[in-house]
Chain A
C-alpha cells in the first residue's frame, strides 16, 4: 500500500486567513466610520450582522414574533441557514475553516506547540476534559433561553468574537477582556480551548457530527495503527479506534486525513457513499482512490 508524505493543509489556511482578513477589515472600517472616514472594500456591517450565531439566538423570537431581536439582522439569520447547510454535508467546517476566533486560537496555539512540543494539548486530565466538553451545551442553552427572555444579545458582553474585533471601542467589557485573556493564555497550553469547552455555536454545529451526510472514515483494514491521526487532532479525538468519526467535537479540519497527515493512502478519508471495500479495490488498482 502506498505510504505518503505529510502534505500541507494550505487550502484550509487560505480560507482561514481570508475570513479573518475580512473580519479585521470590518473592524478597521468601524473605526474609520467612527472617525468620519469612508469604509474600505467591505463596508462596515455590524459584527452581529455577519455572525451566524446572531441568527441562532434570534431564531426563537423570529419564529414567535416575526421580528429579530435588537442588533441582529436578516443577514445573520441567513448566514445561520447557510452554515447549517454546510455543516449538514461536511460537519462543522465553519469551526475548522472559517471561524476567526478558531483561527486566532490556532495561530496562538502554534506558539504553544513550540513551547511544549510534547505536552501541548495534553495538560488537562482526561476525565476532567471529558466533562468540560459538555459545558458548551450549557452555555448554548443558557444563552438561547436568556436571549429569548430578555430580547437582547445577552452574550455580547462576553462574546470573544465581538469583543476581540471591537477592542478599540469602549463597548468592550472587562468580563470580555478577562475571557479573551484566558482564551489566549489557554491556547498556549490547550488547542482551541474556547471551541472545546465554551463555544455555543460550536456546540450547535457539533451535534451535526452525529448525522452529517459526509463523515470522516478510517479504513481499519489498511490502517497501520501509527496513531498519527490521534496526535494531530486539535480536538483530542481518539480517531484510531473508530471506523466512522461521529464525535460531537470534530471540527472537520481534515488534519487527520490522508491528504494531510495519515501516511496510508485511503487510510483516513472524507468520503461519501463509500466503504472500505471500495477503497481497497481502488488501492489494488494502483493507488487511485478517487471516485
Chain B
C-alpha cells in the first residue's frame, strides 16, 4: 500500500488530535498536577507530600476561596500551584491563587514596604541566605512559596524539594489556623530561620509603593533584627541598641549622639545629620560582628 501525504496528514490528526481527545475523555490528559497535600511523614521525615490513595483528587472538591473561584470563571480552569513561576509578582500570586500579598510578605518576613506589583518570587533568593538542613542546601525560592501557597489555600501540590519552611511562614499559617493537626505536627518540626543576605537587599522592591487592599499587611511585625547583625534602612535606633550597640560605641562609630526619639530609623537619623547611611551601616555591622 502506498502512503500518500494525505494519509500522513490524517494520521497526524487522528493519532495526535484524536489521541488527545480520547485521553482527555479518559482523564489521561491533565495539563496540571494532581495529588494531595496530606502529610505522610516517612521514616526520614523528608517525604512530606504524597499522592492520595486514589491519586485523583477532583479539583472541584478542593477547598478554594472565592477569589480563586472567580478567577476560574475567568479563565475556565483551575490554576495548578506547580505552575507558579519565579517571575510571578506577589500581585499575580494573589490574582491566580487568592493568596494576599500580605500573607507572603509576613510569612517570609519581607519588608512591610514591599511593593506587591514589583516583588517577584525569584527575588527571595536575592534576599535570604541558603541554609543547610539534613545535609542539603535549602534556598528560599519559588518552590518554598508554592508549598506555602498550598498550605495556605489547601490546593494540592506535591513538592519534591521543600521539606522545610521558614519559621515565620509556619507561625503565620498556624496563627491563622491554616494547618491541620497532622500538618501542624510535621511543619512545627521542620522550620528554619530566615537569614538576610544583605541588610537592604529587600529595599529595592519597595519603590513605587502602592499599598491599597492588603489588610493582612497591617499585622506585619518587624522583629528579626534583634536576632542578627544586619542593619536595614528601616532599622530603628531602638532596635540597634537592642542588637548590642551601646551609646558610646554608636557615638564613636557615627560621630552622632543617640537621639532622644529612638523610634527614628538609623537611615533617617543619619541623613538628617548629613551622613551617608551606607557609610555608617558598614561600621555598625562590623562592630556587631567583631565587637570593634
Contacts and interface: CB of A to CB of B under 8 A. Distances in A.
Contacts, number: 132
A45 B6 CA distance: 30
A3 interface: no
Given A11-B6, A78-B29, A171-B85, A86 B12 contact: yes
A73 interface: yes
B86 interface: yes
Interface in A77-120: 78-79, 82-83, 85-86, 89-90, 93, 97-98
Interface in A23-68: 33-34, 36, 38-39, 43-46, 49-50, 66-68
Given A34-B88, A78-B23, A11 B5 contact: yes
B2 A289 contact: yes
B160 A9 contact: no
Contact of A82 (B6, B15, B86): B15
Nearest to B158: A67
Contacts of B34: 74
A14 interface: yes
Interface in A142-179: 151-152, 169-171
Contact of A254 (B8, B33, B55): B8
A260 B34 CA distance: 46
Contacts of B4: 259, 270, 290
B281 to A, nearest CB: 29
A252 B3 CA distance: 12
A73 B32 contact: yes
Contacts of A74: 28-31, 34
Given A39-B76, A259-B4, A272-B1, 10 more contacts: A14-B9, A44-B75, A45-B32, A69-B160, A70-B161, A74-B31, A82-B16, A86-B11, A90-B11, A272-B2
A43 B77 contact: yes
A34 B92 contact: yes
B83 interface: yes
B20 A68 contact: no
A71 interface: yes
Given A38-B76, A50-B31, A254-B8, A169 B16 contact: no
A15 B85 CA distance: 31
B120 interface: yes
A151 B160 contact: yes
Give me the 8 closest cross-chain CB pairs, A-B, nearest first.
A45-B31, A49-B31, A82-B19, A170-B87, A270-B3, A74-B30, A291-B1, A11-B9
Nearest to B86: A171
Nearest to A260: B5
B87 A97 contact: no
Interface residues of A, number: 56
Nearest to A67: B51
A191 interface: no
Q: Which of B6, B9, B143 has the most CB of A within 10 A?
A: B9
B5 A33 contact: no
A170 B159 CA distance: 22
Contact of B75 (A38, A269, A274): A38
A6 B34 CA distance: 51
Contacts of B8: 11-12, 90, 93, 97, 252, 254, 270
Contact of A15 (B9, B31, B33, B87): B9
B96 interface: yes
B35 interface: yes
9 contacts: A11-B6, A34-B87, A43-B75, A43-B76, A49-B32, A79-B20, A82-B20, A252-B8, A291-B2
A86 B16 contact: yes
A237 interface: no
A73 B9 contact: no
A251 to B, nearest CB: 12
A273 interface: yes
B74 interface: yes
A75 interface: yes
A17 interface: no
Interface in A117-146: none
Interface string B6-28: 10110110011001100100001
Contacts of A180: none
Contacts of B95: 36
A82 B26 CA distance: 14
A14 B190 CA distance: 54
B2 A271 contact: yes
